[in-house]
A and B are shown apart, each in its own frame.
Chain A
Amino acid sequence: MTGQATTAGDGPARQLWPLARRAGQAALVPALAIFTALILGAILIWLTTGSLATALAAYGGLWEGALGSPRALAGTLVRSTPYIFTGLAVALAFKCGLFNIGAEGQLALGAVCAAWVGYRFQMPGLLHVPLTILAGIAGGFLWGMVPGILKARTGAHEVITTIMMNYLALQIVQILLSGPLKDPRSVASQTPALAPTSWLPMLIPSLQLHSGVLLAVLVAIAVWWFLGRTIWGFELRTVGVNPAAARYAGMSVARNVVGAMALSGALAGLAGVVEVAGVALDVTTVTPTGNRYFGLGFSSGYGFDSIAVALLGRGNPFGVIGAALLFGGLRAGATRMQFNTQVPGEIISVIQALILLLIAADVIVRRLYRLRAATADEAQPALTSGWGEKVA
């Protein structure tokens, strides 16, 4: 026990340093997990191709495809955007103690609603873009709310219901795209093209970099602010950490569960919005701006990967941005890697799976790098008597 003063100063420097240190500690295991997964991935490529050079070339291609040029960087950002939204969706639900496995379905519903508002209505962009975004939010919100209500009312576990509702959502979308919402001029199951007034503005048109990435960062900040600074976020977190204490303190566990699932769904819905109203399809020299529509080929996988993104980001909104950039970069770089070295792009999925595995079983990482066990402090008994001073 040291003889230091018991009241800490309030200087900004004193506040910032522990904050930075905590962020560093939180990022340590994920960073080591990524590093380890990349090494294991390289070994896998080496073993399957029989050449270490191929493995290195593959990673070179990955780097080049993800970060090697302005165009590559833009591609990474575009692919990271939906990951940020779905990662935030899972992270927010997780803060309320809920495992939302349904981001994929919520994303699809958000996308279909955004697409409908986008092609069905004609209005100035100043109105059309926000309405399209709101439609996507509403679709995800309502779809996410359902498992929340089921949980609050009947106790049905949200893992089961959200998984089931993914299938429901994908079937509903299929019916809509091949029937009521189908573009009559197209043979494919897809919606009519969205009106350009509903498109997300481009940040750098030549690189197809749309403004969704800005929206995603703003939303991440909003989620952080909501969770940490509002009374609703306080309630939601309390229910997540200790529902018994939340109830004791007068909070409604049911209302927070429904609210958290709905908000989580809304965030996943935003991922649908940026995919539909942001990503340019059919880009040719004749139509350099491309088209925007929602088609059946749209099986994103962004929803499923979101669990990994949220875990890698440690449930922290800014951590989620980092994890999303990694996953987006891997996706963006995979094409170049395959083109350069014939190493199948699927190796990316293997690396992602390894990262997730190492995050989930972080004991492996800690052993490997001789890190102090995370629970060492908690495992210890209370070290003070009623009159002592707790020393961390």
Chain B
Amino acid sequence: MADHEALDSADTRHFALEAREVTKRFSGVLANDRVSFAVAPGEVHALLGENGAGKSTLMNILYGLYTPDEGEILVGGEPARFGNPSDAIARGIGMVHQHFMLIPPLTVTENIMLGNESRRGRLLDRATAAARITELSRRYGLDVDPQATVADLSVGAQQRVEILKAFYRDARVLILDEPTAVLTPQEADDLFAIMRGLRAEGKSLIFITHKLREVLAIADRITVLRGGRVVGQARAADVTEHDLARLMVGRSVALYERDGTAGGAGPSEAGPVEEGAVAVALGLSEVAPEHAVAPPAATAAAPLLRVEGLTVRAIGGTDRPALDAVSFTIAPGEIFGIAGVEGNGQTELAAALTGLRRADGDYAWLGDREITGRAPRELIAAGVAHIPEDRQKDGLVLPYSIGDNLVLSTYRQSPFARGILLRIGPIRDFARRLIDAFDIRAGRGGADLPAGNLSGGNQQKVIIARELSRPIRFLVAAQPTRGLDVGSIEFIHAQLVAQRAEGRAILLISAELDELLALADRIGVLYRGRLVATLPRAEATWERLGLLMAGGE
């Protein structure tokens, strides 16, 4: 195969970019421990690991944002020292961040020129730059209109602009940080096609991800990081998803593979490795056994949540509402999934149902109670729980202690308050109990540790502990596992399944189709604010959902 020839020849040549025994400490903690890693010209090298495994630290070292404490970096075989990203860019290293670094009101050309302007005297030379961009986009198959305003572009197109930006600066090595997180499955396929084209051009690509499926689809070689160390390095052809999962987590994980195309099939021969384990979204389609065999709950029973024609106006006065006459019901003990590319109304749906955004009219009922237009405090009292999409912005007060965060919506109630006085003792006791029950890794700080010092997975556990520790009837879980490590995902899925068994109505909004396919009883697809389809899980497949998410039929 072509990739293999490229690899073999690369072994005798210099690597495009190499890290040798790189060590980086933060306050004495090893973020990278003698990490060695190299990417050859014409190679796609995947860097796999859970959150906190040291991927970002390594990338930030390679991109000049951090300097390593020990070890060295070589570019084309020569030692390099990066004081800042400009040094790295000058040596031909480009990076596409997970959150794009683009300025929305400017055009594609202006964004790409930024910081590297072509000039004619004191004036910007847009024409020359645009011509060069057109040439680059043709050469690498990066289809973008240089005159378009970035704000008008789709997420996929914005990503192509980011890639062009790197090559406009003559990048030979391109670091892609979780590039598929924001894409539909089809858009991800387009990206992989582009990546293959770049590989054929002799570019080196470093592909950071935690999705095993993608790694095996595109990478030539794979390096797995765990706890700041390289725990495995292999050719993609030589490993299976199970091998990689085990390396990433450091123990066996219960993977329940489902036929990737048909969907709906029960767990395959890969039985549960651990008692009571739940499906893990590792980029595979997995189903929890106890869930898969569970009867489709009380779907026949009267719905607990009823939404009829829910409409939310968009901010910014566009004609199209952010949420357009959406109707669905959720029965007690049912998980209703919402699929969709980000920005198609999911945020507004969650906000409208939890009182954070005003809906136009009375369109949602919880039991017999109409809940639209109610203040969040009333809804909390009525038994609505919310795992918010943006946990750091909405879900937590980062400088507050874990204890204060755990009583964020119940601080007025006994035993946390007596009259107007907060009672520190009971709050701390409560926090200690939940830290134990939900396995929140707070270290020595315990209940008093600021939530901001926790890892992402533990922050999410704090939110889940808070929301599930009071009597609730209806749970809105928006992107509950985004960006989390496998262990936390496993835990959170178990909690959702447990809540389902308790008879709660659950609205699960997720960008991960795997997660929806594994957990939801029915899946609705949001596209441009409309619920374009609702499929029972048995009829939902990757392909069908993907097409619906992209606006197809």
Contacts and interface: CB of A to CB of B under 8 A. Distances in A.
Interface of A: 1, 4-8, 229-232, 234, 238, 241-242, 244-252, 377-378, 380-392
B50 A386 contact: yes
Q: Which of A249, A252, A386 lies at the interface centre, i.e. has the most chain B CB atoms within 10 A of its CB?
A: A386
A245 B393 contact: yes
A373 to B, nearest CB: 13
B48 to A, nearest CB: 14
B96 to A, nearest CB: 18
A384 to B, nearest CB: 5
Nearest to A392: B453
Nearest to A225: B421
B376 interface: yes
A231 B375 contact: no
A234 B404 contact: yes
A385 B395 contact: no
Interface string B2-45: 00000000000000000000000011110100000000000000
A390 B445 contact: yes
A241 to B, nearest CB: 5
A241 B27 contact: no
B471 to A, nearest CB: 15
Contact of B227 (A247, A381, A385): A385
A245 B451 CA distance: 13
B51 interface: yes
Contacts of A252: 375, 377
A7 B487 contact: no
B397 interface: yes
B200 interface: no
A380 B26 contact: yes
Contacts of B388: 248
B484 A386 contact: yes
B400 A241 contact: yes
B62 to A, nearest CB: 14
A65 B26 CA distance: 49
Interface stretch (B80-88, B179-187, B406-414): B406-414
Contacts of B512: none
B384 to A, nearest CB: 10
10 shortest interchain CB distances as A-B pairs: A250-B377, A386-B457, A385-B52, A389-B443, A386-B485, A249-B408, A249-B409, A386-B488, A250-B376, A384-B455
Contact of B52 (A250, A378, A383): A383
A383 B452 CA distance: 12
Given A245-B397, A388-B227, A388-B455, A383 B444 contact: no
A1 B26 CA distance: 11
Nearest to B354: A248
Contacts of B455: 382-386, 388, 390
A244 B356 CA distance: 9
Given A232-B420, A244-B394, A387-B441, 7 more contacts: A242-B397, A251-B377, A383-B26, A385-B50, A386-B455, A390-B442, A391-B29
Interface in B446-504: 446, 449, 452-458, 484-488
Given A234-B411, A242-B398, A247-B376, A386 B444 contact: no
A37 B503 CA distance: 65
Given A230-B422, A245-B408, A250-B375, A4 B444 contact: yes
A381 B56 contact: yes
Contacts of B56: 381
Contact of A385 (B60, B376, B390, B485): B485
A17 B422 CA distance: 23
B393 A250 contact: no
Contact of A230 (B29, B50, B420, B457): B420
B421 A386 contact: no
A343 to B, nearest CB: 44
A246 B449 CA distance: 20
A22 B57 CA distance: 29
A206 B122 CA distance: 73
A103 B50 CA distance: 51
Chain A, interface SS category: loop
22 contacts: A8-B444, A230-B420, A231-B420, A238-B408, A244-B394, A245-B396, A245-B408, A248-B395, A250-B378, A251-B377, A381-B31, A381-B56, A383-B27, A384-B441, A385-B50, A385-B487, A386-B488, A390-B442, A390-B443, A390-B449, A390-B458, A392-B445
Nearest to B443: A389
A257 to B, nearest CB: 16
B399 interface: yes
Interface of B: 26-29, 31, 50-53, 56-57, 60, 226-227, 354, 356, 375-380, 386, 388, 390, 393-400, 404, 408-409, 411-412, 417, 420-422, 424, 441-446, 449, 452-458, 484-488
Contacts of A244: 390, 393-394
Given A242-B397, A386-B487, A234 B422 contact: yes
Given A231-B412, A248-B388, A238 B443 contact: no
A248 B388 CA distance: 9
Contacts of B408: 238, 245, 249
Contacts of B486: 386
B427 to A, nearest CB: 10
B275 to A, nearest CB: 19
A259 to B, nearest CB: 13
B227 to A, nearest CB: 7
Nearest to A235: B411
A14 B422 CA distance: 22
Contact of A387 (B417, B454, B487): B487
A6 B444 contact: yes
A389 B441 contact: yes
A81 B543 CA distance: 72
B281 to A, nearest CB: 14
A231 B443 contact: no
Contacts of A388: 52, 227, 441, 455
Contacts of B376: 247-250
B394 A245 contact: yes
A160 B64 CA distance: 42
Nearest to A238: B397
A229 B457 CA distance: 30
A61 to B, nearest CB: 43
Contacts of A387: 441, 485, 487
A5 B420 contact: no
A252 B27 CA distance: 39
B31 A383 contact: yes
B52 A384 contact: yes
B445 A250 contact: no
B411 A385 contact: no
Contact of A390 (B50, B57, B454): B454
Contacts of A1: 28-29
A238 B412 CA distance: 14
Nearest to B251: A387
Contacts of B424: 229
A237 B437 CA distance: 28
Contacts of B50: 385-386
